[in-house]
Amino acid sequence: MARVTKPLTNTEIEKAKAKQKPYSLADGGGLFLLVSSTGAKTWQFNYYRPFTNKRTKFSLGAFPDVSLAQARAKREEFRALLAQGVDPQEEAKKEEQAASGEMLNSFLRVAERWKAKKAQEIEPLTLKKNWRRLEVYAFPALGCLPVAEVLPSVVIKSLEPLSQQGKGDTLKRTLRLINEILNYAVNYGLLPFNPCANVNAVFNFGKSEHNPTIRPEELPAFLYQLKNSKLTLYTRCLIKFQLLTMVRPVEASSAEWSEIDLLKSLWSIPAEKMKTRKPHIVPLSTQARDVLAIMWQFTAAAKYVFQSARTTNKPMNSQTVNKALVDLGYKGKLTAHGLRSIGSTYLNEYEPMISPDVIEACLSHGIKDQVRRAYNRSDYLEQRRIVMQIWGDYVEACERNFT
């Protein structure tokens, strides 16, 4: 007759004392409590491994961290696996590897790999702003989740506060970044598809917060205010240079003398400074050259055209123009980035003979239509020389004719 093991009780377990040598207390069904010579108590499951039929043991954790009831539940789980020919230890390894893989492919970890890729494509300052947006609005709720668990319901719940606060532009930008990361995960085989692709349909983003700008007809009054302001000469020149060249704020403020060929009237901006991560050549109008001639008197020996007055070998801050525009009374009406739009609006509305593609090239914008982009490899340099001079002449006329 088979020997029947009497199940353990909590009282027996608690009263079990240390002996000179380790010993075991059986609960039945392969479950034992090992009591060490120091008095430490550990649950073990003894069984024969499938296929090899070799006896082995598997630790289930220490008592009282793992209670008697929990140890018994684990034993039954393992016995069920054995009945199916599955080794509990091998199954545990698979679960551990899966958990490790989930951690490796958490939303935060995938986002970090996406960030490394984007660093080769966009302006460092833009990437920094995007990453900060994710840190504030996405990672607190989504960062630790396996990327496969970043589902619409979770994303909607995490971004709902932005919607309630009326921060439509921030909400839209954050959601776009989340979708970029999920699309990255799809492309690298971590997801079969992006489940959040249509989440934007849930939200009301409100009125878009574009960079404010002014109409070309308002430019004469602006230039008059600029000329008669108490802004420093460097700041006034930076604003005018950015207006004339139609470049982005950081591209203007970081202009180097080594990038400028005054004989050819060209400014060659290297790829690493461009938002598009492609080199951009700016034809210089006579008016832009006049601004450079003024700055040459003060910064010819420096690296940067618009050398910082406070820090050696550093350019003026790209936010200098934004602050200056506020000081001029244009808060909410015009931003540094909005200066580009004045030129674009004028050329598109007042110069109908100029091709839109040439204007977009002046702004270093790519052609959005994929078919046209595939067949259009021109940088329109000679046409842009003419366009930039037309724009420079208009700016000069605005400055001269204000009454």
User: Residue 275 catalytic?
Assistant: yes
- Two structure tokens written together for 91: 């199954």
User: 133, 277, 333, 337: which one is catalytic?
Assistant: 337
> What is the per-residue pLDDT for 164?
85
Average pLDDT over residues 110-117: 94
The yes-or-no answer on residue 23 being catalytic is no
**Is the pLDDT at 273 greater than 50, yes or no?**
yes
- Residue 375 among the catalytic residues: yes
* Residue 376, pLDDT score: 42
Q: Of 248, 273, 280, 384, which is the active-site residue?
A: 248
pLDDT exceeds 90 at position 330:
yes
Q: What pLDDT, on the 0 to 100 scale, is given for residue 1?
A: 44
Q: Is 375 exposed, middle or buried (0-12, 13-18, 19+ CB in 10 A)?
A: exposed
Choice among 200-204, 208-212, 263-267 with the minimum mean pLDDT: 208-212
Question: In this predicted structure, what is the pLDDT of residue 3?
Answer: 63
pLDDT value of residue 167? 84
Question: Amino acid letter at 234?
Answer: Y
Q: Residue 96 has what pLDDT? A: 65
pLDDT of 97 = 59
* Structure-block tokens of residue 394: 């208009």
pLDDT: which is higher, 202 or 214:
214
Query: Which of 199-208, 274-283, 372-381 is predicted with the least confidence, judged by mean pLDDT?
Result: 372-381
**Does residue 370 register a pLDDT over 60?**
no
| Mean pLDDT score across all residues of the chain | 87
pLDDT at 257: 97
Q: Would you give the DSSP letter of residue 146?
A: B
Q: Could you give the domains of the chain?
A: 10-94 (3.30.160.390), 107-202 (1.10.150.130), 216-401 (1.10.443.10)
- Beta strands of 209-336 (E only): which ranges? 260-261, 266-269, 280-283
Catalytic residue among 72, 167, 280, 340: 340
Query: What pLDDT, in 10s, does the model give residues 82-104?
Result: 888 888 887 777 666 555 555 67
| Residue whose tokens read 């971004």 | 159
Which pair of tokens denotes residue 13? Answer: 């377990």
Nearest to 318, CA basis, from 249, 372, 267: 249
Q: Where is pLDDT greater, at 370 or 171?
A: 171
Please say if the pLDDT value at position 132 is more than 90. Answer: yes
Q: At residue 281, what are phi and psi to the nearest 5 degrees? A: -105, 125
Edge to edge, the sheet with strand 266-269 lists: 260-261, 266-269, 280-283
- Kindly name the residue from 57, 113, 277, 365 that is annotated as catalytic: 365
365 is catalytic: yes
| Segment 20-26 mean pLDDT | 89
Q: What is the mean pLDDT of residues 33-51?
A: 88
The predicted pLDDT at position 403 comes to 55
pLDDT band (50, 70, 90) for residue 366: low
- Cα separation, 293 vs 188, in Å, equals 51
Catalytic member of 275, 277, 289, 303: 275
